[in-house]
Structure 1
């Protein structure tokens, strides 16, 4: 017998039907529209993407399923979305495949802006050639130091300097592009007092005011 003091609580928490919750990935569940210029070669461990700009491969876990319900549509799923690891990799795998498709058809591009008095950049031949794993070209940058900063350009990166304070880098791999942009930015990270530094894309920082004594 339920005491009167707990009767209301018991009635509020009583349900005549069981509720079943099913985990769904909001990102992984989105179908991918396939361009006509891209072809795919699936295997148990990877999905090879072929496009106008080249070929790349996306690793696949054994529980990932790739389906083509229509000719121009791809769907990504997993064996059991109730398992945490599978649920986590569902959206991640879908994102990697989508980025591979964009990379092989359009490529990725990001601008870097040099902000500061006397800051400037230019492209030049690397006297060391490809010794450091570069493509024979390098960035030469004046960033407020007493010395010039040199950054070799990797073979997978394309680089342009349309103006002395703007660098445009492009690549078919979004991850590799981000790593190179971060490397260049690391030579003069934006500082919050005068707003000087190398800014990536539409990056903005909050300017801090100097406290007066």
Structure 2
């Protein structure tokens, strides 16, 4: 006795007519962010600089060796930013519009670096014109931060977050940290990566806990509170 297939059973139940069920397969939707041009404001410059071979960095991705031998330089009222990119990234500045492209958009590595480079370049353009900022909030009884001057002329952020000691972090070069009130810090700078990285370092000392919500929050960060387990 042979087993009946699903289609045969369906045909028997429908008077010999077989209902074909089609499975919809959606196409992969890509953001195509790499194709979007970036508009430069007045007084903003964007160009590329070659890095000599002996100073170029290299890394291996799969079977390919990627060479980072090019700088994308963005100049603006607030400063200058440089991003190191692979040799296959092409940047064109025409009539105040900067476009990023790659020779082979079907290549997985080139396609991924295409969008990444465009996003970094856009962050740099915003940084040299408007700047980036991160807001650090302290939630908890007695939690606060102060800014102190160091002997070398730099500043440091001192945290009071319930420990028997007070952690201190020196403010990195290129960043400005202000405190409108003891439970708030505003970190400003032209490099978005540096701004967010310093904010995350501060947050590491007291991550938000899920029961009382106490801790250090960055920007619009929220957490879902849990109920305490009662034995």
Range class of TM-score, shorter chain: 0.7 to 0.9
Q: 1:180-195 counterparts in 2 under 5 A?
A: 180-195=198-213
Give distance in 1, aligned partners of 2:46 and 2:184: 36
> Does structure 2 conserve the Cα–Cα contact (< 8 Å) formed by 1:25 and 1:90?
no
Paired residues, what number? 186
> What's the counterpart of residue 52 of structure 1?
77
How far off its partner does 1:189 sit?
0.8
Q: Tell whether 2:128 aligns with 1:104.
A: yes
Give distance in 1, aligned partners of 2:49 and 2:164: 53
Give distance in 1, aligned partners of 2:172 and 2:39: 31
Could you tell me which of 161, 165, 173 is aligned with 1:143?
161
> What's the counterpart of residue 177 of structure 1?
195
> What's the counterpart of residue 180 of structure 2?
162
Structure with the greater alpha carbon radius of gyration: 2
Give distance in 2, aligned partners of 1:75 and 1:31: 5
Q: What is the RMSD of the two structures over their aligned residues, measured on CA atoms? A: 1.9
Per the alignment, in what secondary structure is the counterpart of residue 180 of structure 1? helix
> What's the counterpart of residue 98 of structure 2?
74
* Runs of 4 or more consecutive aligned structure 1 residues displaced over 3 Å after TM superposition: none
How far off its partner does 1:60 sit?
2.5
Give distance in 1, aligned partners of 2:180 and 2:30: 45
Give distance in 1, aligned partners of 2:192 and 2:184: 20
Structure 1-normalised TM-score?
0.82
> What's the counterpart of residue 214 of structure 2?
196
> What's the counterpart of residue 17 of structure 1?
none
Structure 2-normalised TM-score?
0.76
Could you tell me which of 36, 42, 53 is aligned with 1:36?
42
> Does structure 2 conserve the Cα–Cα contact (< 8 Å) formed by 1:160 and 1:168?
yes
Q: Which runs of 5 or more residues in structure 1 are unaligned?
A: 6-20
